[in-house]
Amino acid sequence: MSCSFPTALRCVCLRSPVVAILIGFGACAVTAQQPRNTAQSTAPVPLLPAPAASPEVQPDGTTTFRLVMPDATSVKLELEGPASPYPMTKDSQGVWTVTVPNLAPEYYSYSFNVDGTEVLDPHNVTIKTSFFSNQNVFLVPGKPPMPWEPENVPHGVVHHHFYHSDIVGVDSQYYVYTPPGFDPKSSLKYPVLYLLHGYSDKPSAWTRMGKANVMLDNLIAEGKAKPMIVVMPWGYGDMQMIARGWAAWRDPQLIASNFMKFSDALFKEVMPRVQQEDPVSDKQEDHAIAGLSMGGAESLLVGLNHPDYFAYVGGFSAGGLGDGPYAPVFPGIAPKTAAQMNNELRVLWIACGTEDGLFPPNQHLIAWLQQQGLRPAAIQTPGRHVWMVWRNNFSNFAPLLFQAQPKQDSQ
């Protein structure tokens, strides 16, 4: 006897009343389970829609920022670059929004001010850290890409080193960039740039936010910069500079101690390690030092007081030297030594943003150096005390290094 499954059930039921009852029950159970959703989620949390992108960057640089904060009464966007924050508007769902039009191609840091408290964007995992605050970071890409944007070129390597500093009294650290194709076993000796971060930052600042390694990868690939080793050391000589916060800059003795001990740690601790670990040249014409803000002042102090060691010196928005007098901190600079120093220094490059509060003291320092007979390249760029200025500075300074006939552009 041939029949389909339902017919078979009927056949069995006809032959055995007991089985008919059991099978009939089973048939009812099967019928009751058929509507069950077998694809029901087993996720341990509710499956919610993805949050709206923040920030949302349009092709023309127009960028929208969002923050869900339904109980807040005031939210502002603190964006790197502009002098004032942007007020945000709350909708009926408690989402605060602001759109900033036509941002230039750059990396930007930002945070939200929520009723007076700094808050990070929870939907942006790219973070810039410092001793005093953290910010989110995003990129407005350029077309064509800007010098600080990663390209499809050979890449160097950034190495992280740790050591204990007896001079500073901390477990210290420094980063080393080695260029594409670097071979530590090669007999080739590389030129070296010591690149210094600013106040409140850490040695990672020049790679995480400054993108110095990315810029060098691109410049080397284009033949615009020489392959070089870059050392990014701990920029503090006295940790009271951090313990006392921004008020530390009101204490001239602490500032002097910080600069002096930093120089000692650089020459006595960091440089010997670098010379032992990496194939760096020992020639004066293969040594450079540059930095931003506090690191800019340190670069000028170290470089100009050791012209026998550094042929290239750069200060970007240098801070901490004030309006003078400069002779006590640069005792070797005078009209009678100018000719020799000009012969030793291949590049002396001092730059500052024209909207930076440090612009006037930098101009005073440049004028004093010129009075002594030195020939600094005086670089003025639009901008405040921000990374946009310093990335631009570095992208123009790096190609001058270790060239046979460097050209200083004072425009």
Tell me the β-bridge partners of 75. Answer: 114
- Find the farthest-apart pair of alpha carbons in the chain and give their distance in angstroms, rounded: 124
CA distance linking residue 12 with residue 106, whole number of Å = 78
Tokens describing residue 94? 């408690």
My answer on whether 201 and 262 are in the same domain is yes
Q: Which of 299, 281, 297, 279 is nearest to 289 (CA)?
A: 299
The answer, yes or no, to whether residue 349 has pLDDT greater than 90, is yes
CA distance linking residue 136 with residue 138, whole number of Å = 7
Residue at 39 is within a domain: no
pLDDT at 381: 94
For 112, list phi and psi in degrees, rounded to 5: -110, 140
Could you report the per-residue pLDDT of 227-278, keeping only the tens digit for each?
A: 999 999 999 999 999 999 999 999 999 999 999 999 999 999 999 999 999 9
Boundary (domain end) residue, out of 72, 106, 140:
140
Tell me the β-bridge partners of 56. Answer: 64
Residue at 51 is within a domain: no
pLDDT at 41: 64
* Parallel, antiparallel or unpaired: strands 135-140 and 127-128: antiparallel
End-to-end CA gap in the chain: 102
Q: What percent of the chain has pLDDT over 70?
A: 88
My answer on whether 254 and 324 are in the same domain is yes
The answer, yes or no, to whether residue 51 has pLDDT greater than 80, is no
CA distance linking residue 87 with residue 78, whole number of Å = 9
My answer on whether 221 and 319 are in the same domain is yes
For 94, list phi and psi in degrees, rounded to 5: 85, 15
My answer on whether 166 and 23 are in the same domain is no
Could you report the per-residue pLDDT of 360-396, keeping only the tens digit for each?
A: 999 999 999 999 999 999 999 999 999 999 999 999 9
Distances (CA, A) of 179 to 182, 199, 284, 291, 296: 6, 27, 20, 20, 24
Q: Rounded mean pLDDT of 137-156?
A: 97
pLDDT at 8: 39
Q: Which of 105, 113, 102 is nearest to 79 (CA)?
A: 113
Q: With bands split at pLDDT 50, 70 and 90, how would you rate the model's confidence at 19?
A: very low
> What single DSSP character describes residue 36?
-
DSSP secondary structure, 129-151, as one string: --SS--EEEEEE--SSPPTTS--
CA distance linking residue 204 with residue 8, whole number of Å = 76
Residue at 42 is within a domain: no
For 132, list phi and psi in degrees, rounded to 5: -110, -20
My answer on whether 61 and 161 are in the same domain is no
CA distance linking residue 113 with residue 265, whole number of Å = 38
Domain count, the chain: 3
Boundary (domain end) residue, out of 100, 115, 140:
140
Domain that residue 5 falls in: 1-32
Q: Which of 207, 211, 233, 239 is nearest to 131 (CA)?
A: 239
The answer, yes or no, to whether residue 35 has pLDDT greater than 70, is no
pLDDT at 36: 52
Residue at 328 is within a domain: yes
Residue at 227 is within a domain: yes
Q: Is 184 exposed, middle or buried (0-12, 13-18, 19+ CB in 10 A)?
A: exposed
CA distance linking residue 247 with residue 257, whole number of Å = 15
Q: With bands split at pLDDT 50, 70 and 90, how would you rate the model's confidence at 1?
A: very low
**CATH number of domain containing 328:** 3.40.50.1820
Tell me the β-bridge partners of 194. Answer: 231, 289
Q: What average pLDDT is seen over the chain? A: 90
pLDDT at 33: 47
Q: With bands split at pLDDT 50, 70 and 90, how would you rate the model's confidence at 197?
A: very high
**CATH number of domain containing 108:** 2.60.40.10
Residue at 384 is within a domain: yes
Helix 294-304 × helix 252-265 angle, to 10°: 60
My answer on whether 205 and 323 are in the same domain is yes
Residue at 187 is within a domain: yes
DSSP secondary structure, 293-319, as one string: THHHHHHHHHHHT-TTT-SEEEEES--
Q: Rounded mean pLDDT of 297-310?
A: 97
My answer on whether 165 and 123 are in the same domain is no
Residue at 221 is within a domain: yes
For 80, list phi and psi in degrees, rounded to 5: -60, 130
My answer on whether 197 and 233 are in the same domain is yes
The answer, yes or no, to whether residue 340 has pLDDT greater than 50, is yes
Q: Where are the alpha helices (DSSP H) in 108-244?
A: 205-208, 212-221, 240-243
Collapsing DSSP to helix, strand or coil, 326 comes out as: coil
The answer, yes or no, to whether residue 14 has pLDDT greater than 90, is no
Are 352 and 359 contacting, i.e. CB atoms less than 8 angstroms apart?
A: yes
pLDDT at 40: 64
